[in-house]
Every structure is written in structure tokens, then in C-alpha cells.
Structure 1
Amino acid sequence: MNLTIIAPFRNRYNNMGGLVILICMIFSWIFLHRWSQRNKKGPKTWPFLGAAIEQLMNYDRMHDWLVQYFSMSKTVVVPMPFTTYTYIADPVNVEHVLKTNFSNYPKGEVFHSYMEVLLGHGIFNVDGELWKRQRKTASLEFASRNLRDFSTKVFKEYALKLSTILSQSSFLNQQIDMQELLMRMTLDSICKVGFGVEIGTLNPNSPNNSFAQAFDTANIIVTLRFIDPLWKIKKILNLGSEAQLGKSIKIIDDFTYSVIRRRKAEIEDAKKNGQQNQVLYINIIVLHCSYGYDVNLNITPKC
């Protein structure tokens, strides 16, 4: 009878002993993994998680975080769950990737799947023949003297607007967010050049604009996909950031499609009135939209 009572306790003790040994082995493995990286120049990693924790903690200061590691090495490798990111700051390596051996570094299906909702099949999100075709089209567009002259005029106009805002802020001794102002200037000027639309975000009172806000939100959420292993689940369930992304993309698409429709109507009007130069310029804009190519906005209408 005593043996009958003791047996369950002995089995439980053995199970607990095995569990303790397993836990000790796991902690030893983690300790050795971290200890082996004591002289590593890049981000320290964890088993299975890679450097995801450190990158998430530094997401709001990503550039500063990378610069810290670039001070030790011009190439920073960041292991992540299921993939590895490599950041380079050496001009020779940058030239090698972007020019000398560009074809050896395709964006790939993973990158395309992350960015497709925002970039579609535009030049910044495709490889191979589709990229070459859009690159050729873009080269022809930017060789247009009319486009260059118009772009120069627009950029000067918005540079003066920025200068006025800075002067007023200095006179009133007001604090300003320089990065925010530069982003607004870029967005306004590119919208004016690319779409012929004045969205008016670069003003002294910094007005809100639904398109500008949607664009900023979409860029942030799409970028987060690279470090969020659950984004596909959230997309399927339409939850959290992915639900917000869907709303932002709808605003972007509505704005872009309205511009395309208006530009196509202007083409017909210009043809009727014999304004060939105007037809040529508007055709350039419509080609941008039709091929899904953009200059800086990363907007890719799917028309």
C-alpha cells in the first residue's frame, strides 16, 4: 500500500526533474548564444527572434539606431525571423548594388508582397523586363524640356514658401518641426509636378490634408510589415494597423483616380483646342499613372 502511494509522487518528481533539466538547457543555450556575440559589431540577436526585439524598440529612431552600428562597420546585418536584412553605408558597396551589379539584387517576391498595396507594380516594386520597360518610359519623360522647366519653376515656388514660413517662425521666435516642413514641401511640389494639383499642406498654419495624412499613414504601416510577423493575419482579419492601412489606401486611390480622370478629360479638351504642348504634358502625367511609376511619392495607381 505504501508503494502504491509513493509511486505517483516518484513519477511526478521524475517529470519535474526532467522539466528542470530542459529549462536549464534552454537557458544555457540562450546564454551561450548571447555570450558568443559579445564582440559582434551589429545588433545582438536572440534564438528564433533574431534582432526583432531590438529593432522594434528602436523603430521610432531607426536611422539613429543604424548610425550607431555604422560607426563600427559600414555593413550592418540584422537577422530577423524568417529573413535577414543587410544595411550598407559604404559608397563602393552602394554603387555595386544600385549600379554595377543591379541585376544581381532583385527586390524579390517577399518585398513585392509587402509593398504591393502601396506601390502596386510600379518601378520601385518590380524586377526584370517590367522594371526595364518602366525605366525606359521614365527616362523619356524626364528628358522632356517642358517637364524640366515646369519642375524647376514649381520647386522654386515651394522653396520660397518654405523660406517665408521659416522667416515668420524666426521673427515670432516659434519652434518648428523641420522634418515635417520638408516632407510637406516635397509632397506639395511633387503633387504639383506629377499631377498638376495644389494640395496646400505647406502653409504657415500647417493645415491637415486627408490625402497627405493617408499617404504618411500608409507608408508607416507598410514599413512596419517588415518587422511585424503577424501582419498577414491582421490583414486577413482586417484588424489593427492593416484595417487602418486599407482605409488610407482607399483615400490615396480615390485622390489619384480623380486626378487621372481629370487629366484624361483635359487631353480631349486640349486636342479639340489644338493645344499640342498641353497634350504632350498631360500625356506624360497619364503615362506616369498608367505605368504605375512615380517620382518620390511611392504612389502607384492601378489603372
Structure 2
Amino acid sequence: MLPLSAMKLEHPVPHAFAVTSLLLLPIVIQFSRRIGSLSTSKKRADSDSDSEPERREVERPPWTLPLLHNTLSFILAGDNIHEWIAWNCERFEGKPFTVKGPQYHENMKELLGDGVFAVDGVKWAHQRDVTRGLFRMNELRECMVEAVTRHTMALHDVLKQICARNRSVDLYKLLSCFSTEAFAEISFGLKMDCLRANKELPFQAAFDRAQRLTALRFIRPRWFWKMQQRLGLGAEDQLQLDIKEIDATVLSIVQRVLAQRAVTPEDGTDKTTNMLSLFLDTIAKDPTMDEELYDPVHLRDVVVNFLVAGRDTTAQALSWFFYSISQNPRVEAKLRRGI
């Protein structure tokens, strides 16, 4: 069980409050269960009146259990988890066999909003289709190549300086900084230049910390982090501060882009290319698109989800690559000969 001291990071909490929390714990759990059962009944009633596209039929893989769902299947699959997912995709002919669900969306809401990684149904399908179309555009590919090449050169210069000084380096942190810079520029045109300056910007620190603190919601009991959130304590208090920093940066850029588009003539004079501008171009050309897609909060969710998708996978893959190379001198020697 988590220590009560984990409820705070910097704020002092009286011992009396901690003791009272323990005494009230059984009541809180019982109350949460009762509220949960009522909300489940309401959701079922509401779902009956939903439109058919909103209610995606989900297949159930073998060994899907109550409460645990496919957790045991994931554990048993182990290193073959990719094959397990591919087998189920083939078995169900591409139909969805898992959904994120309301609990996942609630946990991720502050960070990812209603982005593609946090929603199901029509919202997910729509964003998936638009994003898939963006990746077919030459403009986005050219933007990605130009940005990644430039930031790779900056990373090369940093590593060269480290080698010249014969110093050790936290490679994952450095690669995370590299991927954050590259994909922040690709997503919404934010140029941080923290690699060359050798400093971490508030946005980058807030983004890294917000992801870690959001992950804690999946580990800690719901009532625990909800109580922290309500009282402004511990991890939840810090998470809200980080979300404010992220929103202040992203929303200011989104609003500036929208303002520029409002006064820029449609004659191709605006040559700014990033995912946000291309997304706006796409929905502007389609008369069937909802006007709500121009909402700054919705656009914030779109670019933040793309940033999460690009920066984390890139940093983790590169870090694992270099670790694997360090464990295999023979492969390293072959690569050096090839270079």
C-alpha cells in the first residue's frame, strides 16, 4: 500500500489528516463502488440512445476474463506480445478487439484531452482518418525530413563536444530532448533550440513530468488520486501546474496560427508547414467537417497527441538501439566499418 507521505510533494499535511483518511477509507471505498454502479447503469441507459456509429462493436479475444479482461493474456504472451496482437488482428479481420474505455479516458483527460490516443468511437475514427491522410502529404514528409535533419546535426554537435571533453552522458535524456525539439517543431512549429543551448525549457520539463504523473493514475487507487486532485495535494497538484504550462505554450501557438490564417489571403503566400497548419488546411477543404474542429482546445489535443506519438517512440527506440549496440561489440565493429 502507498505510504500517506506520498500524498504530498512539497505541501505539509497534518498527521491528523492522515489518520482521518485511514479511518474513512472503508467508507470512501463503499461510496465509490455505489457511485460507480449508478454511473454504469446511467451509461448503459445512455448508450441505448446513442447513434450506431458511436457504438463500435468490439470483438473479444479468447481468454477474455471479467474485470481482468486480457491482462493475463498480455502476461502469458510475454516477448510474443506483437505476435499475439497480430494474430488477433488477423482473426477478427481488422475489426477492433479492444477499446480504451471511460476509465482510460478519465485518467488521460488532462494531458491528452479528446485526442486520438484517449478516445473511442467516432472521435477516434475521425482523427485516425484525418491523420492518416496527413502522412500521405508530401508537405508533411518534407517538413519532417528538414526538421529531423537539422536537429540531428545539432545532436551530432553536442555528442562531438561530449567526446572531446571525455565526459559521460545520460543518452536517454539527450535523445528525449532531441525528439522533443524535432517533433514540437513538426507538430506546431515550436522552435526550442535547447539542445545547442544545453538547457531544459519549462515546456519540456512540464511535458516529461506530466506523462510520469499521469501514469501514476493507473497504479494508484482512483479514490486516492481523486482526493489529491480535489485537495490540490502531491502528484495531482504538480500535474495541474504542468498541464497549465503545456496549455499556455500550445494554446498560444494555436491561437496565433488561427489569427494568422484569418488575415492571410488564400493565394499561397503563407508557406508555414507543420502538422497543425496542414490539419487546418485539410478541414478547410472539406465542407463536411464540423466547425468545432477549429476550436483551439480541440486543436491543442490533436498536436499534443501527435507530439506524444513522435517524441516518445523515437527517443525510446534510439535509446534501445544504442544500448543493444553497446552490448554487441561485433555488431558495433561492423557498423563502424560500414560508416
Q: TM-score, normalised by structure 2?
A: 0.58
Unaligned segments of structure 2, at least 5 residues: 1-66, 284-292, 311-339
The 3 A distance-change label for structure 1 pair 84 and 239 is farther
Partner of 2:79: 89
Partner of 2:234: 240
Shift of 1:208: 2.2
Q: Distance in 1 between matches of 2:124 and 2:252?
A: 26
Q: Distance in 2 between matches of 1:110 and 1:179?
A: 31
Shift of 1:82: 8.5
Q: Distance in 2 between matches of 1:116 and 1:281?
A: 22
Would the aligned equivalents of 1:214 and 1:249 in 2 still touch at CA under 8 Å? yes
Partner of 1:226: 218
Partner of 2:264: 270
CA displacement, residues 132-175 of structure 1 (integer Å, 9 cap, x when unaligned): 10001101112111111111011011111111111110111011
The 3 A distance-change label for structure 1 pair 246 and 104 is same
Partner of 1:198: 191
Q: Give 1:266's aligned amino acid.
A: Q
Shift of 1:206: 2.3
Unaligned segments of structure 1, at least 5 residues: 1-80
- Are positions 1:211 and 2:203 aligned together? yes
Q: Give 2:86's aligned amino acid.
A: E
Q: Give 1:92's aligned amino acid.
A: E
CA displacement, residues 14-41 of structure 1 (integer Å, 9 cap, x when unaligned): xxxxxxxxxxxxxxxxxxxxxxxxxxxx
Choose 1 or 2 for highest CA Rg.
Answer: 1
Would the aligned equivalents of 1:270 and 1:276 in 2 still touch at CA under 8 Å? yes
The 3 A distance-change label for structure 1 pair 241 and 298 is farther
Q: Give 2:85's aligned amino acid.
A: V
Partner of 1:128: 121
Q: TM-score, normalised by structure 1?
A: 0.65
How do 1:40-189 residues align onto structure 2 when only pairs under 5 Å count? 85=71, 86=74, 88-90=78-80, 91-96=82-87, 101=94, 103-189=96-182
Would the aligned equivalents of 2:187 and 2:307 in 1 still touch at CA under 8 Å? no
Q: Distance in 1 between matches of 2:118 and 2:89?
A: 14
Shift of 1:297: 2.4
Three-state SS of the structure 2 residue aligned to 1:271 is: coil
Percent identity over paired residues: 25
Equivalent of 2:308 in 290, 297, 300: 297
Q: Give 2:149's aligned amino acid.
A: K
The 3 A distance-change label for structure 1 pair 135 and 104 is same
Q: CA RMSD in A?
A: 3.0
Q: Give 2:232's aligned amino acid.
A: N
Relative contact order higher in (CA < 8 Å, ≥ 6 apart): 2
CA displacement, residues 63-98 of structure 1 (integer Å, 9 cap, x when unaligned): xxxxxxxxxxxxxxxxxx988844553121132467
Q: Would you say how many aligned residue pairs link Structure 1 and Structure 2?
A: 220
